[in-house]
Amino acid sequence: MSRIPVAAAVGLFFTALYFLAAIFAPLLAPYGVAEVVGDVWEPSSATHWLGTDNIGRDLLTRLIYGGRTTIFIATTATILSFTTGATLGFLAAVLGGWADQVMSRAIDLLMSIPTLIFALVVLSVMPVTLPVLILVMGLLDSTRVYRLARAVAVDINVMDYVEAAKLRGEGRVWIIFREILPNALSPLVAEMGLRFIFMVLFVSTLSFLGLGVQPPAADWGGIVKENKDGIVYGIPAALLPAVAIATLAISVNLVADWILNRTTSLKGGRG
């Protein structure tokens, strides 16, 4: 921890800023999320720092609450995709044989369908509520995590220390969680950062297409959609959530890079 590179520090700062804003949204936001407080697309002023949106709600408030929704969905979906994907991936690697074949080919099948189209189809027939949204996103993304986790675990599974544990008579649970997991953690943690960003982009895309978070609840993709017509009149309201998405993506990426660098043995360090 002695030295944090500038890039990582910037990343950490913005990531922390967004997460804190998300957690303390009700305390920070100056107005209510669905409260109409002014005219349509007012420019920024002392009362409305970032102006108002297409129906006169305070844009800063919308952005703070929008971040809260976006980050919440992305986080829970990431956790879901990681627990499912990693557990199944490790299991496939340890079991091997036909169990591995069946699981891997089923995952291949799922991955062969473009994620966004798959999600659109599922969400158009199911009621779009938060749990459904998170479930769909998490499970679809867990295929990618499965691939990575299995690949990493297959490598670890043939190490002599795993063989030693098998010869000792250890059960599968010990082998997966005590021998494999700790050694697979660093690539998985780095991947987690990237997957989180994909989730943010994914939920924003879905909302922009109208199949994600439903109004009047706010989320960044939704805010872009609501204000996109303003761009024609030179109103920047739609750009602000886009900037938020971009900065969050970049800063989480910077943090993930830093973690990866710190924990891989490639550079000699062991975290």
List interacting residues with another protein (CB under 8 A): 2-3, 159-161, 163-164, 166-170, 178-179, 182-183, 267-270
* Alpha-carbon span 18 to 43, nearest angstrom: 24
Residue 15 contacts residue 248 (beta carbons within 8 Å) = yes
Residue 185 contacts residue 179 (beta carbons within 8 Å) = no
Q: Closest distance between another protein and the C-beta of residue 65, in Å?
A: 41
Q: Closest distance between another protein and the C-beta of residue 84, in Å?
A: 23
Phi, psi (deg, nearest 5) at residue 15:
-60, -45
Q: Closest distance between another protein and the C-beta of residue 165, in Å?
A: 8
Residue with tokens 């975290």: 271
How many degrees, rounded to 5, is the angle at CA 68 between CA 47 and CA 260?
A: 125
- Cβ nearer to another protein, comparing 188 with 244: 188
Residue 103 contacts residue 88 (beta carbons within 8 Å) = yes
Q: Closest distance between another protein and the C-beta of residue 261, in Å?
A: 12
- Cβ nearer to another protein, comparing 183 with 205: 183
Residue 133 contacts residue 206 (beta carbons within 8 Å) = yes
- Cβ nearer to another protein, comparing 252 with 260: 260
Q: Closest distance between another protein and the C-beta of residue 183, in Å?
A: 6
Q: Closest distance between another protein and the C-beta of residue 164, in Å?
A: 6
Residue with tokens 């043995």: 265
**CA atoms within a 13 Å half-sphere pointing along the CA-CB vector of 41:** 16
**Token digits of residue 184:** 């697979």
Residue 197 contacts residue 249 (beta carbons within 8 Å) = yes
**CA atoms within a 13 Å half-sphere pointing along the CA-CB vector of 115:** 18
- Cβ nearer to another protein, comparing 108 with 163: 163
- Cβ nearer to another protein, comparing 81 with 186: 186
Q: Closest distance between another protein and the C-beta of residue 126, in Å?
A: 41
* Alpha-carbon span 8 to 57, nearest angstrom: 35
- Cβ nearer to another protein, comparing 111 with 165: 165
Short-list 34, 55, 82, CA closest to 185? 82
**Token digits of residue 131:** 């749990």
- Cβ nearer to another protein, comparing 116 with 159: 159
